Structure 1
Amino acid sequence: MAEAFYIGMDLCTDFTQMSYYNDITREPESISQLNNKETYMMPNILFYSRDTEHWYVGGEASEARFSEDGIIVDSLFENLQNTEPVEIAGKKYTYRELFLMMIKLHVDSFLYRYEQAVVRKLVISIQEYNKEIHQILSDLYKIMDVPEEAIEITSHMDSGLYYIFNQEQDLWVNSVALFDYNADGLDYYRIDISRNKKPEIITVIHEDYSSQMSLAKYGTDTHSMDNDFSRIADYEVKEAYISSVFLTGIGFSGKWMKKTTNVLCQGRRVFVGQNIYTKGACYRAVGGEYKEFYDRFFIETKENVLFDVGISLGDEKDTFVPVAEGGKQWYNTHGKVEVILDDTDKVGIVYRGRHTGTEARETVMIHGIPKRPNKTTKLSLSVEFENPTDGAIIIKDLGFGKLFPTTNKIYRKEFSIKNL
């Protein structure tokens, strides 16, 4: 019987990290490079060997390029908009095709270590929403030959929350600090928990320090970097009572923090690791008990939808039927229901704040459908979001079987919900 894995992937510009869920330890475990057990950051490069007529990825590609005759393919992120085809071994590829091949090969390089291993769920974490990358990754399930729902895309912020709230509770009894120091600079996230309300509220505050701290700015001057970071850290940890601090990103590699260590370690626990996002994505892939914090807390981030979208059945109880439930990232907020009109040509739309319960309502008139007997018009309603507050409700006429064929009419009602 094939072994099925839950996999988390942190997909960055230059490197990819992966982890898998260990059923025995009940924890995500980082996946090392096949040819270097001490390295978990896999370069985002491909190499086609003319000698073996074989594709290599990551560390194996880096190694093979020096020992075999072939073609190296790198800068895949930077070339995603490049429409010029790349010809390799007599076959033409687009950079988008090579990008998807790279991701598949990263996963395959792990699966090949087990007999008949398959992907049960793959969650890919990227820094933040990117429309182009999301569109490209939407086709990944096809080349990986898995169900569409087996692959999901999330953000570093969401992965960070999954990781932090699946650690021991003592680490998040108060606010949590997350510093991310990557090639683009330093970002700071403070995760606050309001426990005097039900449900409890998680709020994420973001500060962009990239203009003050970047890897390019310091070069080898780690002394100045330590001084600048200690000043920023000292300011931020005094703004709230911090239980724990998490440091991630290539900027925190090396032992340059001396002054900063004294600042951060005063009465709080500090963790440094490059695998926070990949392990958080792995927790999300598993779901179940690992997503219970999303049920316990009301989570407010800049990417989460804070309201439900549904319809009113118009009955005596004014029954609310959700079409799309909020509480998660807007690009992962979807939903669809089917309804049968009962002596009406209207659909009552309801927007309900998840935390406040406050509602906003509007009515959509269904025009242009032939007159049919009562309860013989079926509609489908789905919701799509453009950002956390704006989106549209799509209403389609489904007809009613062979007796009353569909008109194929589609109605689009856009919405913008700012305060609920």
Structure 2
Amino acid sequence: MNIKKPVYVGIDFGNEYSQVSYYSDKEKEPVSLGLSGPENGYYIPTVISKAVGKSQWFAGDEAKNSTMLMDTVIVDNLVMKAMDRNPVMVDNESYMPAELISIFLNEIVQAVKIAAGVQDIAKICITLDNFKISLLNVLSEALSRLNIPKDDIIFSSHTESFVYYAMNQKQELWTNDVALFDYGDNGLVYKLMSIIPFRGQNLIMTKDEDFSSEVPYSLSENKTACEYLDGKLSEIASGLFFKKTISSVYLTGKGFGDSFNAPDFFKVICDRKRAFSGQNLYVKGACYQAMGTTEGSMLKNYVLCCNERITTGIELKIIERGKEKILRLVKPGVNWYGADCSFNLIVDEAKELEMFLSPVDTVEKQLVKIPLTDFPERPRKTTLINFKISFTSDRRCYVMVIDKGFGEFFPGSGRIINEEIML
């Protein structure tokens, strides 16, 4: 039997709808998988249901339609429930959000395996509009319930997915800046991607602007406001593009659906630019990101500097075999979620730890000293410390140093030094 190699998967996980794609060796690009009815296309309702009195669960459209076939309990708003982190009562039983989300994700993963004809997932990247640690932790737990190894899981923001999608297109489409208009339930959002050479590096910079107050989603549903919407979008785009050299423009979001028509806006975005419209940009970008981690990414020679990416390198001065050495802890351009690291170090005569912060857009390094004077004094090389760094955002870093002592001879004091570093 010819067993295909594991597949790379991208999932755009939303509160109302989700999407999924997998990388097709035949098509040489991500392929979106539609699990929903024809009225929803590639949109999968982020909903599950449970048959009353039974251990039978449904997901997506099957969950919504199950109410017509049997007595079921519907569970929706899974993103909101994950962020609340409170138990959810379903059919007189209590479930944690991670349990419920794992049921939904399992349905998607199994559908991908069937469609791709594979038995295993190589990497899975979940992209989110709401990149919050509370949601990320619940999703991590949900995926662990599916026995997907932690190292095979990536979390990405919509901005990151936009960059991965754009950079995997023909080079002529990203030679200059790349623009994205996202017109979804929360209104209009604009994203701009620029590549800037700096100190021998290619920095991918992004900028997000929120126009939801000027262009709410309700405007797209108001048939009498078409002319006003066209004018407003044209005005915004003209201002954003002024003195900018843009290679391509992407439109995504339900507001730019099949019935969307804005002649003046189209003229602005198509003037000496390539313009594209589609509803699966983020999920395909997530798939490219999953694939790029092992197959080689278009971004391997670039440093991605956007929200959720750490743009400051973090290093620690150590002594190894009698020689001073710099230990790199965090490389610029990595996502803050998953950048945590931990090392055990033996203290010789040091009274403090010396860390160096290196922002990608500056030449000078910043020295940060962490005193160890709170730890008990011991003979040389008889203090083992555990050094940990963790993040709660791309700008907020936490350092924890724990005194472990030195075996039975010098028991650990249990003392902990905590430092917060703003990057």
Matched, 1:236 2:204: no
Match of 2:78, SS state, is coil
Aligned residues: 416
Quote the residue 2:332 is aligned against: 326
Unpaired runs of 5+ residues, structure 2, are none
Matched, 1:340 2:342: no
Quote the residue 2:153 is aligned against: 151
Contact 1:310 1:321 survives alignment (8 Å): yes
Q: Find the aligned partners of 1:289 and 1:99 in 2 and give their Cα distance.
A: 27
Contact 1:34 1:109 survives alignment (8 Å): no
Deviations 1:112-168 (CA, angstroms, capped at 9, x unpaired): 556672333211111142232123113123311122222222100011111111111
Q: Find the aligned partners of 2:115 and 2:168 in 1 and give their Cα distance.
A: 28
Unpaired runs of 5+ residues, structure 1, are none
Contact 2:36 2:42 survives alignment (8 Å): no
Match of 2:334, SS state, is coil
Contact 1:283 1:290 survives alignment (8 Å): no
Q: CA RMSD in A?
A: 2.9
Correspondence 1:209-288 to 2 at 5 A: 209-221=211-223, 222-255=226-259, 256-288=261-293
Q: Find the aligned partners of 1:147 and 1:79 in 2 and give their Cα distance.
A: 24
Query: Which amino acid in structure 1 is aligned with residue 244 of structure 2?
Result: A
Q: Find the aligned partners of 2:104 and 2:179 in 1 and give their Cα distance.
A: 33
TM-score, L = length of structure 2: 0.88
Q: Find the aligned partners of 2:4 and 2:51 in 1 and give their Cα distance.
A: 30
Q: Find the aligned partners of 1:371 and 1:137 in 2 and give their Cα distance.
A: 43
Residues 188 and 359 (structure 1), Cα distance of their counterparts in 2 relative to 1, 3 Å cut:
same
Deviations 1:336-383 (CA, angstroms, capped at 9, x unpaired): 333222333432222223343411213323245555443343323221
Match of 1:98, SS state, is helix
Quote the residue 2:58 is aligned against: 56
Quote the residue 2:421 is aligned against: 415
Contact 1:323 1:381 survives alignment (8 Å): no
Quote the residue 1:46 is aligned against: 48
Deviations 1:10-52 (CA, angstroms, capped at 9, x unpaired): 1112100011122343321111116659821101111223598
Taking every aligned residue pair, what percent have the same amino acid on both sides? 26
Deviation at 1:284, TM superposition (A): 1.3
Quote the residue 1:311 is aligned against: 316
Residues 258 and 120 (structure 1), Cα distance of their counterparts in 2 relative to 1, 3 Å cut:
same
Contact 1:123 1:282 survives alignment (8 Å): yes
Match of 1:313, SS state, is strand
Q: Find the aligned partners of 1:364 and 1:2 in 2 and give their Cα distance.
A: 51
Query: Which amino acid in structure 2 is aligned with residue 352 of structure 1?
Result: S
Quote the residue 2:99 is aligned against: 97
Contact 1:125 1:278 survives alignment (8 Å): yes
Residues 233 and 115 (structure 1), Cα distance of their counterparts in 2 relative to 1, 3 Å cut:
closer
Residues 201 and 184 (structure 1), Cα distance of their counterparts in 2 relative to 1, 3 Å cut:
same
| Worse overlay, 34-43 or 150-159 | 34-43
Deviation at 1:68, TM superposition (A): 3.1
Query: Which amino acid in structure 2 is aligned with residue 194 of structure 1?
Result: I
Matched, 1:392 2:394: no
Query: Which amino acid in structure 2 is aligned with residue 274 of structure 1?
Result: Q
Query: Which amino acid in structure 1 is aligned with residue 120 of structure 2?
Result: V
| Worse overlay, 26-35 or 95-104 | 95-104
Contact 1:311 1:322 survives alignment (8 Å): yes
Residues 175 and 234 (structure 1), Cα distance of their counterparts in 2 relative to 1, 3 Å cut:
same
Q: Find the aligned partners of 2:329 and 2:54 in 1 and give their Cα distance.
A: 52
Residues 115 and 274 (structure 1), Cα distance of their counterparts in 2 relative to 1, 3 Å cut:
closer
Contact 1:188 1:206 survives alignment (8 Å): yes
* 2:90 alignment partner, one of 87, 100, 105: 87
Deviation at 1:238, TM superposition (A): 2.5
Contact 2:188 2:211 survives alignment (8 Å): yes
Contact 2:173 2:248 survives alignment (8 Å): yes
Query: Which amino acid in structure 2 is aligned with residue 351 of structure 1?
Result: L
Deviation at 1:196, TM superposition (A): 6.7
Match of 2:181, SS state, is strand
Contact 1:284 1:290 survives alignment (8 Å): no
Match of 2:79, SS state, is coil
Query: Which amino acid in structure 1 is aligned with residue 275 of structure 2?
Result: V
* 2:113 alignment partner, one of 92, 111, 114: 111
Deviations 1:293-335 (CA, angstroms, capped at 9, x unpaired): 5442233324332212221126897532112223233334322
